[in-house]
Amino acid sequence: MPRRFTFVGVTTGSSSIMRIFPRWRDVLGLGDDVEMLPCDLPIGAPRERYRDTVAMLRDDPDNLGALVTTHKIDLYEAAHDLFDELDANARTYGEVSCVFKRDGALHGAAKDPITAGRALEDVLPARHWAGGDAEALVLGAGGAGVAIVLHLLRPSAAAERPARITVVDRDGGRLDALRRLQEAQHPGADVLYADAADGAADRLLAALPAGSLVVNATGMGKDRPGSPLTDDAVFPERGIVWELNYRGELDFLRQARAQEQARGLTVHDGWRYFIFGWTSVIEEVFAVPIDAATIDRLADAADFARPAPVGAASPDRGA
C-alpha cells in the first residue's frame, strides 16, 4: 500500500511539484512507495469541506501529512479543534500550512514565517535598509503577507528595518488581525494599513521612495485572475519587486517586467519561495533534516520544471 503525502490547494495539478516530487523523493531517500495526493478545494470553501479534509488526513493511516496553500487561514478557522497539537506559529498567525503526524497524534504548523525569512534573505541585498528611506509595500494580508511583514519588523534597530511598511488588502478583518499581531509583537512600529478599494495600491506605490520593496502576496495572478495593481501603476526607481507566485497568468510580474529597465527594477518571481515553502513542509512531514546544501541540491533537481521567466529581459534563474 503506498504512503501518501497530500497537497491541499486550488489547482494542484498545475503545480510543478507534481513532476518535481518524485525526483525530490529520490534525492532525500524517502522511499519509492511515497506518492503525492492532490486535493483541490475552491477558494472560500464551505467549513465542512475543510473539516472533512483534516479528518481524512487524521484518519487515513497511510497519509503522512500535507502541505496546505491558499486555504491556510480558512482551514485553521474551520478545523483547528481537530488537531491534537498546534505549533506556536499556527496559534499566533491563525493558520495551518503543514499537517503531520507524530506517534499517532495529528499536528498542525505554520511554516510561512520560516519560508518568508529564507526567501527574504534571497531577495534583499545585505543591509538593504541601512541608512536609507526605502519602504516596503506588501499587497495582501493573508498568511504569506503577515509573515513577511512580521519578519521585516524583527530587527530591533530601526536602521535594519524599512522606514515604513504599508499593507494593502481588501479584507478589513485580515488587516485588523495583522494590526493586532504587529502591535503585540512590535508596538510603535511605523506600519500603515490600507483598504484596497478605489485604486489605493496604485497611489501608495507611486509615493514610495527609491529602492523600496514591493511584494504581491495576494494570490492574484495564480489562484485568482488579475493583479492588485492597474496597468497604469508606476514602480519606484531602483525598486525590488517580488511576485510570490511562479505560475499562472502572473499579471503583476508582467507589469513589473515591463518597467524593469526604465525604472531600474530588480524583479523576482516566486520560484525560490516555492522551493523554501515545500522543503520546510517536507522536512516536518517526513522528519528528515534539510540543510542549506540539501536545499540547493533539491533546487537543482527541480530546475527542469521551472516555467520560463515571464517577460524577462534576461534569465532570472536565481529569483
Which tops the pLDDT comparison, 262 or 315?
262
pLDDT at 46 over 70: yes
pLDDT at 312 over 80: no
pLDDT at residue number 157:
73
What are φ and ψ of residue 153, in 5° steps? Answer: -90, -5
DSSP string of 18-49, one letter each residue: HHHHHHHHHHHT--TTEEEEEEE--TT--HHH
pLDDT at residue number 315:
38
Burial of 16 by CB count in 10 Å (0-12 exposed, 13-18 middle, 19+ buried)? middle
Residue 311 pLDDT class (50, 70, 90 cuts): low
State the cell numbers at 38.
Answer: 492532490
Q: What is the mean pLDDT of the chain?
A: 93
Q: How far apart are the first and last CA of the chain?
A: 39
The vertex-71 CA angle with 307 and 196, nearest 5°, equals 85
Q: What is the mean pLDDT of residues 133-150?
A: 94
Closest CA to 316 of 259, 242, 262: 242
d(CA 241, CA 15): 23
**Helix H or strand E segment including 6:** strand 3-9
Whole-model pTM: value is 0.86
Q: What does the pLDDT look like over 115-137, one tens digit per residue?
A: 988 999 999 998 999 978 999 99
pLDDT at 318 over 60: no
Grid cell 503583476 is found at 252
Q: What is the mean pLDDT of residues 203-226?
A: 92
Q: What does the pLDDT look like over 164-212, one tens digit per residue?
A: 999 999 999 999 999 999 999 999 999 999 999 888 999 999 999 999 9
pLDDT at 91 over 90: yes
